[in-house]
Amino acid sequence: MIIETVSAEQTWRLLWSHAAKQVITYISAASGYSCESIGYGWGLRSRSAPRRALVLHPSSNTRGFGDLALTVGGTGTGVIPRNDTSFAEYIKTVTDIVEDTLNHPTTL
């Protein structure tokens, strides 16, 4: 029973880590940011100002609220709410939030 729980948790983290990678890779192609792997998360770091960075990662203990969280350097971490949307709708919302965060440098 415990092994099944650990296995399910690991699978969940790996699946959402892959989704985070897809979002970050897509965004990095059209931005001045480099894509980096950080644990289970994927991040964007400004090439011109390396201290400007964000990481998209599985949300951990709050996954009932949302499966992915966004950590912005110097600002903190926020879970991106799922709101009972489909996977495709959720990924679109996550992509929009990450792009909006990049387009507002005061939040980075």
Q: Tell me the domain boundaries of the chain.
A: 2-107
- State pTM to two decimals: 0.86
Find out whether 82 and 90 touch, Cβ atoms under 8 Å: yes
Q: Cα torsion at 23, 29, 35, 40 (round to 10°)?
A: 20
pLDDT of 27 reads 92
- Helices 87-103 + 2-28 axis angle, to 10: 50
pLDDT of 107 above 60: no
Confidence of residue 52 (pLDDT cuts 50, 70, 90): confident
pLDDT of 108 above 60: no
Mean pLDDT of 15-31: 92
Nearest to 93 by CA among 3, 42, 23, 30: 23
